[in-house]
Amino acid sequence: MTIKQSVLNTFDRVGIDYKFYEADKEKHIASNRFGGGECKVSRLVFECIQWVYNTSNAYERGDYSVKVGDFDRIRYFVAEVDPEAYRTCLD
């Protein structure tokens, strides 16, 4: 999979080690944190979903250190590479 440079820059900025996660070819189970289902995803998509959840939780606690544009770019990346995972876990 070819990842856009803007997404790679965002991964670097927010600390997502995409090279490490891309190397893992196993499928992982991503679950909707509100109990709305689960799906099999790549390790990179799994980590992006977890990052979105963790960042959202931090934001709710008053930690606004992540730029909204970076948050959105990670969500859009998941939507682009795995629409089912996006619909199941992030939509």
Task: List per-residue pLDDT tens for the chain, 91 residues long.
Answer: 789 999 999 999 999 999 999 888 899 999 999 888 999 999 999 999 999 999 999 999 999 999 999 999 999 999 999 999 999 999 9
Integer angstrom CA distances of residue 8 from 19, 23, 70, 91: 10, 15, 11, 22
Cite the beta strand spans of the chain per DSSP E.
Answer: 28-31, 38-41
pLDDT at 35: 83
pLDDT at 2: 87
Residue 64 burial (10 A CB sphere; 0-12, 13-18, 19+): exposed
Residue 27: which of 11, 44, 52 has the closest Cα? 44
pLDDT at 58: 97
pLDDT at 36: 81
Interatomic CA distance for residues 36 and 11, integer angstroms: 27
